[in-house]
Amino acid sequence: MAYWEPIRELGEEPLIQPGSKLREVTHDIASVSETAAPRGWWICFLIASSFTGVFALCVAYLFYRGVGVWGNSSPVYWAWDITNFVWWVGIGHAGTLISAILFIFRQRWRTAINRFAEAMTIFAVICALIFPGIHVGRPWLLYYVFPIPNQMTLWPNFKSPLLWDVFAVGTYFTVSLLFWYTGLIPDLATLRDRSLTKWRQRIYGFFALGWRGSNRHWQHYERAYLILAAISTPLVLSVHSVVSMDFATSVIPGWHTTIFPPYFVAGAIFSGFAMVETVLLIARSVFNLKRVVMMRHLELMNKFLLLTSLLVGYAYAMEFFMAWYSGNQYEMAHFLKNRPTGPYWWAWLWMVIPNCVVPQLYWFKRFRTSIPVMFVISILINIGMWFERFVIIVSSLNRDFLPSSWGIFRPTIIDVGVFVGTIGVFFTLFLLFMRWLPMVSMTEVKGTMPQADPHRHSEDEGAHDPVKIVDEEPSGAGDLVPEGAE
């Protein structure tokens, strides 16, 4: 029961450049880690690791002086720290969405992007988890959030949404990591089998766990993958729902709304897809993966972005409508006055225009299939989604019930440094991943190719075809046993 089935049916379009051979797929993807890194990789890596250095310096200063080095002050005690946390967790949603939900729905085009998106999830969630870790003020007491015995004989309060968040994001990270690693095992075996040096063979071999493509193994493996996909589907929907409850269970106008869980999930998927696209476009050109990541995949992603943009736009509109419909003066003052015309009106425009207006270009095929257009739009969406969280958090807090306690939040250079630094951390990890691990699932891509169809006759496989005799020389393997020898 291959869950990624070969292309066979009439009218189905190939998911990989027609005429590609299995070996070419292996070679295209595996050779990235076997050859010297292209210059583009080094340029990106140097920039990314410099920002990682900025991050380390800013966090060191933060730990030395305390959270006062940020702009947070009365009444805005949650600002960029939580904005960044929610933004990164949101970006982390596309990975599991692509690997789990699209898997369950048999959207086989996902094979070109799922490994990528899963890696992105893991690195984005690492960046997200940094913020709750550093914003507590006394990071050495962070273990209070875990239910472990401590000197005060106190347990965490399980009624608090903040604690639900610890479990939701922690579970999400762990399950994403397991899912990613499970998918990697057969591909790590490929790298092990192709390795020419002892150390490569040992390191990849260690993590490949002795995988030998056995069908008795594939059987349990595929079942494990299906179960992981099935349990990750509700998980991915739950994580941002729980994050949204940090806000929705409070009484602040702008936060206290029941639409938050689905609204946050839609926004998370929207921003996650945009980030996958940004990174994918860079990798596609740096590593020349046009054979595997086709325009068709990119166009499908753009359609998905259009859909989620409409969902997000609907949620924005519904917030406004409910503020007016409720008749609550605080809600109306917040949504109808403070957000569009208050001190953060420009942030509100940055939220609405990139998220709801710009993606409407994707109604036209010309824009859906233009690489420069989709690159710019994917970055604009990420900026827009950051501003969405900024608007929700800061502009809700800066004007609460009493005008006497109103105030303005101004970020400091350390706020900027920490945030930009996490982008550096993310890309550093991502570039290392692209360099050393197969960034497209070779196994799954091969499984969708016509050659994977066992009912297809092998005439164009090279087996009986003298024209394809060049195919005889296996690459990567050492001395070959002559035919029929023992």
The least CB distance from residue 113 to other proteins, in Å, is 18
Residues with Cβ within 8 Å of residue 267, at least 6 apart in sequence: 90, 240, 308, 312, 315, 355, 385, 388
214 binds other proteins (CB under 8 A): yes
Tokens standing for residue 78:
């949650």
59 close to 305: Cβ distance less than 8 angstroms:
no
Return the number of the residue (182 or 326) whose C-beta is nearest other proteins: 182
222 binds other proteins (CB under 8 A): yes
234 binds other proteins (CB under 8 A): yes
The least CB distance from residue 28 to other proteins, in Å, is 12
| SS3 state at 156 | coil
What does 243-277 look like in DSSP terms, one character per residue? HHHHHHTS--TTT--TTHHHHHHHHHHHHHHHHHH
Alpha-carbon distance values, 68 to 134, 136, 138, 391, 417 (Å): 12, 12, 12, 22, 14
Among 10, 36, 402, 485, binds other proteins (CB under 8 A): 485
Q: Which of residues 100-159 bind other proteins (CB under 8 A)?
A: 147, 153-159
Return the number of the residue (9 or 486) whose C-beta is nearest other proteins: 486
Q: Which of residues 154-193 bind other proteins (CB under 8 A)?
A: 154-161, 163-164, 167-168, 170-171, 174-175, 178-179, 181-182, 186, 189-190, 192-193
461 binds other proteins (CB under 8 A): yes
26 binds other proteins (CB under 8 A): yes
Q: What are phi and psi of 76, to 5 degrees?
A: -100, 85
215 binds other proteins (CB under 8 A): yes
Return the number of the residue (141 or 224) whose C-beta is nearest other proteins: 224
90 close to 276: Cβ distance less than 8 angstroms:
no
209 binds other proteins (CB under 8 A): yes
Q: Which of residues 419-448 bind other proteins (CB under 8 A)?
A: 442-444, 446-447
d(CA 103, CA 229): 7
CA atoms within 13 A on the CB side of 400: 15
Alpha-carbon distance values, 113 to 81, 169, 191, 346, 440 (Å): 30, 23, 19, 35, 7
Q: How far out from the chain centre does Cα 12 lie?
A: 28
Return the number of the residue (48 or 175) whose C-beta is nearest other proteins: 175
Number of residues that bind other proteins (CB under 8 A): 92
The least CB distance from residue 324 to other proteins, in Å, is 30
Return the number of the residue (351 or 449) whose C-beta is nearest other proteins: 449
Pick the stretch among 65-73, 323-331, 421-429, 475-483 that binds other proteins (CB under 8 A): 475-483
DSSP state of 4: S
Q: Which residues pair with 73 in a beta bridge?
A: 76
438 close to 9: Cβ distance less than 8 angstroms:
no
The least CB distance from residue 465 to other proteins, in Å, is 10
Sort residue 288 into left (φ over 0), alpha (ψ -120 to 50) or beta: left
In one letter, which amino acid is 40?
G
198 binds other proteins (CB under 8 A): no
Return the number of the residue (22 or 67) whose C-beta is nearest other proteins: 22
Q: Which of residues 253-312 bind other proteins (CB under 8 A)?
A: none
34 binds other proteins (CB under 8 A): no
The least CB distance from residue 360 to other proteins, in Å, is 35
The least CB distance from residue 146 to other proteins, in Å, is 11
